[in-house]
Amino acid sequence: MNQIELFAPASVANVSCGFDVLGFCLDPIGDIMRISKTTTPGVIIGKIAGQDLPTDPLKNVASVAGLALLKEHSSEFGFQIDIDKKIKPGSGIGSSAASAAGAVFGINELLGAPYSKKELIRFAMEGEAIASGAAHADNLAPVLLGGFTLVRSNKILDVIKLPNPKELVATIIHPKIELKTLHSRAILKTTIPLNKAIEQWGNLGALVSALYTEDYELLSRSIQDKVIEPYRAMLIPKFEETRQAALNAGALGSGISGSGPSIFALSKGIQVAKKVGLEMEAIYKDLDLDYQLHLSKINTEGIKVLNRS
Amino acid sequence: MNQIELFAPASVANVSCGFDVLGFCLDPIGDIMRISKTTTPGVIIGKIAGQDLPTDPLKNVASVAGLALLKEHSSEFGFQIDIDKKIKPGSGIGSSAASAAGAVFGINELLGAPYSKKELIRFAMEGEAIASGAAHADNLAPVLLGGFTLVRSNKILDVIKLPNPKELVATIIHPKIELKTLHSRAILKTTIPLNKAIEQWGNLGALVSALYTEDYELLSRSIQDKVIEPYRAMLIPKFEETRQAALNAGALGSGISGSGPSIFALSKGIQVAKKVGLEMEAIYKDLDLDYQLHLSKINTEGIKVLNRS
């Protein structure tokens, strides 16, 4: 195998109550990446379509992630990464995670898969770190493992794949403003009230339980964030109205996707998710602001191989 | 039925990473309570053996809880509560919760069980509130429902019964000093660092997952508390040494039981739990301080009826 083409999906991190630890993988939204063997060792960035991203291998998250892998697993040949970048950076649906995860996944395959998907996360984190200012796995884990994932510890990287209630469908609205994770992290306080923290971990524990028991009502009650959202909400136009519109249309829960500006909603069944999308869209139609709307089942597989040659 | 005799068990709240939300029920440790119908409406405290507790119905947690129930469900007859109080108040294993839960459970039975066990929690909370200064369900929920429980919200009382890995055995050492929950709450800060909070909810989410999947290793990695324990540990003689001794002896995890001073350990299998007990005891034998050691399977049933007449 000299070349692999793959689909690197978008993802939703945090999911309201699981700041920095929880995430799930999206389905139809994602980048197309082609990774090819080259004769010169190292990683180079070839063509990037769709977005204006650095081609310097030391500045692009995909190549940085790939180089992290090659630092541990040396290779006589090198790799070229071409990306059809459909996920807009700074959209809050894991643009950098898709690139970083896609790169290490592809390179790993071309090396004969010396690492498991779980092991690949830590290499991808080095790419993620240059985009978000901190090495987080909350988007990378769902992209690599699929479905819902929990990062117990970012420090020693302990990642758990959670079950996926079959009828969940995500609706995402992406207002076309760019919010760098770096900036939306800077707005947060370094301490939080203990009583809010207790509510948060009560909700996260309940959400994990709800995923195992497919208890959609409990899931709905758990999707709350009193810690992070109040600060970040002010960076997103009409956030609260859009969230309310989603809930009024029947969504189980709604909140900021990752560090925003995208807003996610989770619904039971495709019909509700569509209605939720229409109501979220209704809020944005009144604004002089471009947006995109996505509908997605939970992608339980993560990255998909499109072609090997 | 005019009289009911029951076993009101002790319990372990917090379980390290689940401050104010998580708890599990113990088996052989608990109070014996007898609740009898009386001709005069209301609740009176009869005999209390074993401990020196208030007999004024407005000051005893059992009667306060019972009165809370009767405020909503009036009764032509009244109730007398006699308690053989084996759980020492201020021990950190849910002494007040046992009394409050036992009272509402017994009265509910004598009324023909108008309420479910889950519904009884909110009445018991009114009793718990006078003991600990705040209405918490983290000990009450496991006593009434059995096994492991999660309180998603204390405010609107949303309680989840979690599964119980079969081989778990608890070891509890109870140093005979009294720590009032009121005081061990006062020592806590009202804000906590965000990065510690993230670790805490990562661990709690993982622990809930581990209970569903019976993943003892994940359970072990999750039993950590970087938020509350560092403050409360200083109130408990030799806490860190005892915890370390438990871990060295093979315990999956160890921490402060409730608000202390009791220290719990969880082990896989009775043999390990016994060894853990010996090693914890070894630390305390060197101190000029009385203590008690308990070994207990997880009590999946909660309160047990001993006799009805």
Q: What is the 3-state secondary structure (H, E, C) of B136-182?
A: CCCCHHHHHHCCEEEEEECCCCEEEEECCCCCEEEEEEEECCCCCHH
Q: Report the CATH architecture of A3-163+299-308.
A: 2-Layer Sandwich (3.30)
Domain coordinates in residue numbering, chain A: 3-163+299-308, 168-297
| Contact yes or no for A150/B208 (Cβ under 8 A) | no
Evaluate whether A3-163+299-308 and A168-297 have a shared fold.
no
Cβ of B162 within 8 Å of Cβ of A209? The answer is yes
Separation CA A124–CA A141 (nearest Å): 10
Evaluate if residue B132 carries a pLDDT over 80.
no
Per-residue pLDDT tens digits for A55-98: 999 999 999 999 999 999 999 999 999 999 999 998 999 999 99
Of 3.40.50.2300, 3.30.230.10, 1.20.1730.10, 2.30.40.10, which CATH number belongs to B3-162+299-308?
3.30.230.10
| Contact yes or no for B140/B127 (Cβ under 8 A) | no
Q: How far is the alpha carbon of A185 from chain B, nearest alpha carbon, in Å? A: 12
User: What value of ipTM does the predicted structure carry?
Assistant: 0.94
Contacts (Cβ under 8 Å, ≥6 apart) of B14: B20, B22, B23, B138, B225, B228, B255, B256, B257, B258, B259
Q: Strands B42-49 and B78-84: what pairing?
A: parallel
pLDDT value for A166: 95
Per-residue pLDDT tens digits for A30-63: 999 999 999 999 999 999 999 999 999 999 999 9
Q: Which of these is catalytic: A5, A126, A128, A279?
A: A128
Residue A147 banded pLDDT, cuts 50, 70, 90: very high
Per-residue pLDDT tens digits for B193-216: 999 999 999 999 999 999 999 999
Q: How far, CA to CA in Å, does A147 sit from each of A27, A100, A150, A161, B244?
A: 10, 18, 10, 7, 37
pTM of the prediction?
0.95
Residue A217: closest CA among chain B residues belongs to which residue?
B158
B18 touches chain A (CB under 8 A): yes
| B181 included as an active-site residue | yes
- Please compute Rg for chain A using Cα positions: 19
| Residue B125, token pair as written in the block | 């909370």
| B240 included as an active-site residue | no
pLDDT value for B65: 97
Per-residue pLDDT tens digits for A255-293: 999 999 999 999 999 999 999 999 999 999 988 889 999
Residue B180 banded pLDDT, cuts 50, 70, 90: confident
Per-residue pLDDT tens digits for B103-127: 999 999 999 999 999 999 999 999 9
A201 touches chain B (CB under 8 A): yes
Evaluate if residue B185 carries a pLDDT over 90.
no
Evaluate if residue B131 carries a pLDDT over 90.
no
Cβ of A204 within 8 Å of Cβ of B199? The answer is no
Q: Report the CATH architecture of B168-297.
A: 2-Layer Sandwich (3.30)
Q: Strands B263-268 and B168-175: what pairing?
A: antiparallel
Q: Which of these is catalytic: A5, A126, A171, A181?
A: A181
| A80 Cα distance to chain centroid | 24
Cβ of A192 within 8 Å of Cβ of B197? The answer is yes
